[in-house]
Structure 1
Amino acid sequence: MGRSVDDIIAVPPHDEQGVIEAHHDALKQEVEGLRELRQIAGKAQADIASALNITQPSVSKIEKQADMHLSTLRNYVEAIGGELELTVKLPKRPALRIHHLGDLAPAGAAVPARKKSGDPSPRRRHG
């Protein structure tokens, strides 16, 4: 007796099984958004709100945003116990990681000293 269509669909040809499994594994490494990321980390919105010192509705709003500051995303990821890495993929180049976005000044430019918390604000010179 021949195989049914259901049998053929249920078991892909052997040479395609590895490709399908690799694609499936890659898809399992992706998440739809921050909500799913938080759930994978086993955290509730209230946990994130407490860590970020904001309200639970604010966490919900962050999770629904389509666009946000990198600092907001970094704080959110750290609140769920993760670390944010920013990777840039350019054509014909290996992937590059940016470690200190916003901390680097153009070549030759003076880098302003960072204010430490608790330091008095700089005094203006009159003259």
Structure 2
Amino acid sequence: MKMAGRHSFATLRARMSPEAQAEAEALAAQLDEEMDLAEVRRALKLSQDEIAQTLQVGQGSIAKLEKRTDMYVSTLRRFIEAMGGELEIVARFPDHAVKITNFADLSERERV
């Protein structure tokens, strides 16, 4: 996904050496089920500056965002996409889980 003036995750990853890419992939495979945004970013070997460039914001904005406990779903989605991921929202109940689809097409509605 390439947005005007933004770097895709693939572009950022292409700048990494093959060794760094392999290490990042190995670490990403070891991601815990529960991590905060900064831990995910570090596990993927991405800097706050790289995420800031992708989102066209300052590094300080990324630092603040990583510390927030409450944010818009669209903000979280953009942050996850800047790291090369995809955000899914799942409601877990004792006997089943349901993927919430209201936010699945959020990016398309925002672009219209």
TM-score normalised over the length of structure 2? 0.61
Q: Quick one: higher RCO (CA 8 Å, sep 6+), 1 or 2?
A: 2
Aligned twin of 2:62: 59
- Counterparts of residues 20-99 of structure 1 (less than 5 Å): 29-92=32-95, 94-99=96-101
Q: Which segments of 5 or more consecutive residues in structure 1 lack a partner in the other structure?
A: 1-27, 104-113, 118-127
Q: Distance in 2 between matches of 1:81 and 1:63?
A: 16
- Percent identity between the two aligned chains: 39
- Structure 1's 86 and 50: CA in aligned 2 closer, same or farther, altered over 3 A? same
More helix by share: 2
* Number of aligned residue pairs: 80
Tell me if structure 1 keeps the 8 A contact 2:51–2:79.
yes
**Structure 1 stretches of 4+ moved >6 Å:** none
On the 8 A contact 2:77/2:86 being kept in 1, the answer is yes
Q: Once the 2 structures are TM-superposed, how far is the Cα of residue 42 of structure 1 from its aligned partner?
A: 1.4
RMSD value, Cα: 2.5
Residues 77 and 83 in structure 1, CA contact (< 8 A), matched pair in contact too: yes
Task: Provide TM-score, normalisation by structure 1.
Answer: 0.55
**Can you give the 5+ residue segments of structure 2 that lack an aligned partner in the other structure?**
1-30
